[in-house]
Amino acid sequence: MLKAAAQLAVHPHDCTLIGDSVTDVEASKATGGHSIGFANKPGKDRSLSDAGADVVISAMTAVAEALNHSPA
């Protein structure tokens, strides 16, 4: 996340990582960024939430819908 933020010339706290593992969420939190946990298997929602994901989703369509409704 730090490398991506640097390449985009933005601060990591302005970034959001979408990941399907606890380590993804932990990495995002370690950089000060936000995280969306993708619970792509049964039971993952709890572990991603416990790891500190800001939001947990079970379908990528939720991301697409959120992006379609975000302010320009």
pLDDT band at residue 65 using 50, 70 and 90 as cut-offs: confident
Q: What distance in Å separates the CA atoms of residue 30 and residue 39, rounded to the nearest whole number? A: 20
- Amino acid letter, 6: A
Q: What is the pLDDT of residues 1-25, one digit of tens each?
A: 899 999 999 999 999 999 999 999 9
**How many CA within 13 A on the CB side of residue 65?**
5
Instruction: Please say if the pLDDT value at position 70 is more than 70.
Output: no
Question: Domain 2-68 belongs to what topology?
Answer: Rossmann fold (3.40.50)
Q: For the residues of the chain, what is the DSSP string, one character each? A: -HHHHHHHT--GGG-EEEESSHHHHHHHHHHT-EEEEE--STTHHHHHHHTT-SEEES-THHHHHHHHTS--
The reported pTM is 0.84
Where do the domains of the chain lie? Answer: 2-68
Percent of the chain clearing pLDDT 70 (strictly above): 94
